[in-house]
Amino acid sequence: MRKTPVALALAVVLATSACGLGSTASQEAATVTRVPELRPDQQVSIVFESYNFGQAGAWTDTFNELIGKFQQAHPNIHVTAQKPQGNSPNPATDTVPSIQAQMAAGSPPDVAQLGFSDLDFTIHGLGAKPLDDLVGKDAVQANFDGAKYPYAPTARTLGDWDGKTYGVPFVFSTPVLYYNASLFTQAGLDPANPPKTWDDVQQASQAIKARTGKDGAYLDCLTKSAKDWCFQALVRSNGGHVVSTDRKSLDFADAPAVEVVKMAQNMVNTGSTPKLTQQQGYEAFARGDIGMLLETSAIQAQFIKGAKDKWDLRATTMPTFGGKPAVATNSGASLFVFSQDPAKQRAAWELIRFLTSEDAYTTIASKIGYLPLRTGLLGDPNGLQPWAAKNPLITPNVQQLAHMEPWVSFPGNSYLQIRDGMMDAVEKAVYQGADPQTALTSARDAATSLMPAGR
């Protein structure tokens, strides 16, 4: 007698909860057609999601300013800004799960800023809309050309897949070697001649350590939280790849990558590089406690503030491995469209056009420090020329832009675990003394089983 009511209760709960989330039937993805322009009286509300909104500071303020300007220019479009849903300390790690959760609930954001490392999954997993189909290839290219200053040629294709543009690259940087010219002088080095090769960096670090007691160099490319954009730059500069060009196999356990890790491990073992986390590393540099830092220009403002009146901050291009040319990769993110509604898709495109316009880049570059992707602005007296003159720090970034290669995303649904597994192995080898070849090989073996089958 007792069992029946229990069974009944269970049945009720099961019945009410079944078909809660998804279904086993595959729904047809809506085909994407050209969306019409908005009528002037047509009111549209869109949601813009960016990890830059999650943290207190200049980014949030700058973005709010840009959105304010957009709404003034487009009074019929209302933009709600939000940060990625989730509770990680760094909102940038929540970007993809946030889109997933909101899609499960049935309302993804209309425009979202997602990193290049997620590109494959963004297009094939999350289903970002191909902009070429939404607004026409001409319109997309016209936006890249801009009113006066086009995108740098290497930057235009970063959000493309198989010839179609899915994402408009928004903000990125190349790895820049920032250095403390005051420490250089104290260590007897010439600040006008910064290190050109990694051997130079090691020697300079030893000199700084010996003569000033401060740490020599920190490469913010070798921990899991740093992601793999700048590690890819190092590996490419040494002639290797992390994933094969046909995207079918993983190459990060091959000799070039192993050498990179060995070089970094040696720097830690000889005391040139302190054992710090990413945040501790760049904060220590900002305080003037480290001689050199390989870093994105996105946090340049912090270094400028830390160096003000205390030490001389300068920047140069990435060091090379011996005689091989340095290959820079980009960090950063693109803007994608996720909405299904044609009016919102059109409004989303308008927002993207605005955020990647000359005006917006002028604001973003001068207030945050990211590289303006429309490099012509740097020569415009009404644009960024005055700012560029006062900020010689961007010169290396601009120089490297010309020969930049894309930050490659890993394929498949488990791409994040592949990437994290690789960077975990790198971190263990560099900072915890694990053997580079063994660590990378076992990471590669584990990751190979996560690669998508038959692509």
CB of 409 to another protein, least distance (A): 13
Residue with token string 């340049």: 300
87 binding another protein? (CB under 8 A): yes
4 touching another protein, by CB under 8 A: no
Residue position matching structure tokens 């990413």: 278
Is residue 199 within 8 Å of residue 321, measured between CB atoms? Answer: no
Region 119-138 residues binding another protein, contact defined as CB under 8 A: 121, 125-127
Whole-number minimum distance, CB 286 to another protein, in Å? Answer: 6
Q: Candidates 173-181, 259-267, 297-305, 399-407 — which segment interacts with another protein by CB under 8 A?
A: 297-305
- Verify binding: residue 169, another protein, rule CB under 8 A: no
**Which residues have CB under 8 Å from 125's CB, separation 6+?**
413
Which of 55/395 has CB closer to another protein?
55
Q: Which stretch binds another protein (CB under 8 A): 128-136, 140-148, 358-366, 415-423?
A: 415-423
Q: Using the rule CB under 8 A, which residue among 14, 31, 162, 323 binds another protein? A: 14
Cα 83 from Cα 94, distance rounded (Å): 9
Q: Give the pair of three-digit tokens for residue 426.
A: 């790198």
Measured between alpha carbons, how far is 428 from 432 in angstroms, rounded to an integer? Answer: 5
d(CA 250, CA 384): 41
Q: Which is nearer to another protein, 126 or 139 (CB)?
A: 126
Residue (133 or 405) nearer to another protein, CB: 133
Q: With binding defined as CB under 8 A, does residue 82 bind another protein?
A: yes
Which residues have CB under 8 Å from 299's CB, separation 6+?
Answer: 282, 369
Stretch that binds another protein, among 220-228, 242-250, 354-362, 392-400 (CB under 8 A): 220-228
Q: Is 81 in the site for another protein (CB under 8 A)?
A: yes
Q: Shortest CA distance to 347 belongs to which of 84, 35, 113?
A: 35
Give the pairing type, strands 290-295 and 215-219.
Answer: parallel
Is 130 within 8 Å of 165 (Cβ atoms)? yes
Which residue number, 206 or 417, has a Cβ lying nearer to another protein? Answer: 417
Please name which of 138, 133, 84 lies closest in space to residue 342, comparing C-alpha atoms: 133
Q: Which is nearer to another protein, 25 or 192 (CB)?
A: 25
Task: Please work out the total of residues on this chain that contact another protein, with binding judged by CB under 8 A.
Answer: 82
Which residue of 71, 76, 100, 441 would you call a contact of another protein, by CB under 8 A?
100
Give, as one character, the DSSP assignment of residue 243. B
Q: Considering only residues 417, 437, 438, 441, which one is a binding residue for another protein as defined by CB under 8 A? A: 417
The binder of another protein chosen from 69, 71, 76, 101 (CB under 8 A): 101
Q: Region of 276 please: left (phi>0), alpha (psi -120 to 50) or beta.
A: beta
- DSSP-derived 3-state class of residue 296: coil
Work out how close the CB of 381 gets to another protein at its nearest, in angstroms, rounded to a whole number: 29
197, β-bridge pairs:
320
| 17 is a contact residue toward another protein (CB under 8 A) | yes
261 binds another protein (CB under 8 A): no
Q: Does 57 bind another protein (CB under 8 A)?
A: yes
Regarding 33 and contact with another protein (CB under 8 A), the answer is: no
Query: Is residue 286 part of the contact set for another protein (CB under 8 A)?
Result: yes
Query: Between 300 and 330, whose beta carbon lies closer to another protein?
Result: 300
Q: Which is it for the CA torsion 46, 52, 56, 59, positive or negative? A: negative
The distance in angstroms from the start CA to the end CA of the chain is 57
Task: Return the CA Rg of the chain.
Answer: 24
| Least CB distance to another protein at residue 224 (A) | 7
Per CB under 8 A, the list member of 197, 206, 277, 437 interacting with another protein is 277
Quote the least distance from Cβ 85 to another protein, whole Å: 5
CA–CA separation, 425 vs 224, rounded Å? Answer: 9
Of the CA atoms within 13 Å of residue 390, those in its CB half-sphere come to: 8
Smaller CB distance to another protein: residue 215 or 358? 215
67: Cβ–Cβ under 8 A, 6 or more apart, which residues?
A: 48, 79, 81
CB of 428 to another protein, least distance (A): 5
**Of 169-177, 178-186, 272-280, 310-318, which part binds another protein (CB under 8 A)?**
272-280
Range list of β-strands (E), 256-346: 290-295, 313-316, 333-337
431 binds another protein (CB under 8 A): yes
| Binding status of residue 413 toward another protein by CB under 8 A | yes
Segment contacting another protein (CB under 8 A): 35-43, 96-104, 171-179, 400-408?
96-104
x/- mask, another protein, residues 344-363, rule CB under 8 A, reads --------------------
Strands 111-115 and 44-49: parallel
76, 88, 197, 206: residue in contact with another protein (rule CB under 8 A):
88
